[in-house]
Amino acid sequence: KPGEQKHPKEPSSLQCMHLAVVACGDRLEETLIMLKSAVLFSNKRLCFHIFAEDSLKPEFEMKLKEWPSSYTKKFESNIYPITFSVGNAQEWKKLFKPCAAQRLFLPVILKDVDSLLYVDTDVLFLRPIDDIWHLLREFNSSQLAAMAPEHEIPKIGWYSRFARHPYYGSTGVNSGVMLMNLTRIRSAHFKNSLIPGGLTWEEMLYPLYQKYKNYITWGDQDLLNIIFYFNPECLYVFPCQWNYRPDHCMYGSNCRGAEEEGVSILHGNRGVYHDDKQPTFKALYEVIRDFPFEDNLFQSLYYPLQSRFLDTVHTLCGRIPQVFLKQIEKTMKKVYENRVIVYLGANHRY
């Protein structure tokens, strides 16, 4: 129509792997370290969608600009205010942790984004995001999101022992790493316990929260468990090495995928990057935090990690250092080989 504004998609955003995070309170540094781990290893271009309190926006912009150009050219970033499209914003904002419920509204807010990887601020990538992004291709025709189980063993799982609301599968799912086909989520009608017919994602969120708010402990994660309890065919479940938490090693090793392949995505929940309860997790966080961007990966990342891990062998998680090192070593070898090939190619005369 004449006079109507069009909003064409940026060509770069079509070639992008979209990564979303929600940062409130004191989560600025943690978020930046997560983004740093994403940029360090990934191959394809990244689009960051950072949802943050207004007071954090200038600092995010400033810190990301300080990164060397060899890295800043690998991503573009957008920073958004915290907004909730339905229900009471203050109620949503206080659910579980500050602003955590924002992730429930990503399909509604990011209308031009087809697929998205959402992660909590306390996540670290130990291999390229490209590898989890490829899992989107494994979705069958009814699947529209992917998460890992909350626990591997029902008898020690939280949901199987304590939940007072419906949850997915035998142990529930953890929403700290969530791969989403937003296009499918926006067009789907979800079965629910509210009305006999299906509801859209946006229609369902607030009534579902109202119905279960006195029974939920983990806020938005519980709501996602309730949604996928009623719609199990919509969920693709990926293995624990894509969302590896202290629970996977602090009671003895119970993530077989990580034992075989190594940890792909580390999720330091329970605040373990900032206390001394799980020194293996803390060591990974601090070594990635302190890595000087343009230094040699083996010299300034891998070797410091190995020596830090020697100090953690007295802990249950520290007894299996190869689980934490396997993917990171593989990834660094690939990065190194790619650079050598690029360097040789650039200097080769035909």
Please name each of the domains of the chain with its CATH number.
17-238 (3.90.550.10), 248-256+269-348 (no CATH)
Predicted local distance difference test score (pLDDT) of residue 344? 67
Based on the number of CB atoms within 10 Å of its own CB, is 145 exposed (0-12), middle (13-18) or buried (19 or more)?
buried
- According to the model, what pLDDT value does residue 102 have? 93
**Which pLDDT belongs to residue 12?**
44
* Tens digit of pLDDT at every position of the chain (350 positions): 444 333 334 444 458 999 999 999 999 999 999 999 999 999 999 999 999 999 999 999 999 999 999 999 999 999 999 998 888 888 888 776 768 889 999 999 999 999 999 999 999 999 999 999 999 999 999 999 999 999 888 777 777 776 778 878 888 999 999 999 999 999 999 999 888 889 999 999 999 999 988 888 877 898 999 999 999 999 999 999 999 999 999 988 899 999 999 999 999 998 999 999 999 999 999 999 999 998 888 899 999 999 999 999 999 999 999 999 999 999 988 877 877 776 666 555 44
Please report the pLDDT score of residue 67 as a whole number: 97
d(CA 226, CA 274) in angstroms, rounded, equals 31
**Residues 336, 298: contact at Cβ < 8 Å?**
yes
Are 126 and 327 contacting, i.e. CB atoms less than 8 angstroms apart? yes
Q: CA-to-CA distance for 181 and 217, rounded, in angstroms?
A: 27
Name the strand (E) or helix (H) holding 279: helix 279-290
pLDDT of residue 342: 64
What pLDDT was estimated at residue 82?
92
Per the structure block, which two tokens stand in for 313? 């062998």
**In this predicted structure, what is the pLDDT of residue 190?**
96
Tokens of 342: 């690029």
Contacts of 333 (CB under 8 A, 6+ apart): none
The pLDDT, as a whole number, for residue 147 is: 98
Strands of the 75-80 sheet, one edge to the other: 75-80, 46-52, 17-23, 115-119, 173-181, 145-149, 235-237
Residue 86: what pLDDT? 84
pTM value? 0.92
pLDDT value at residue 170 = 84
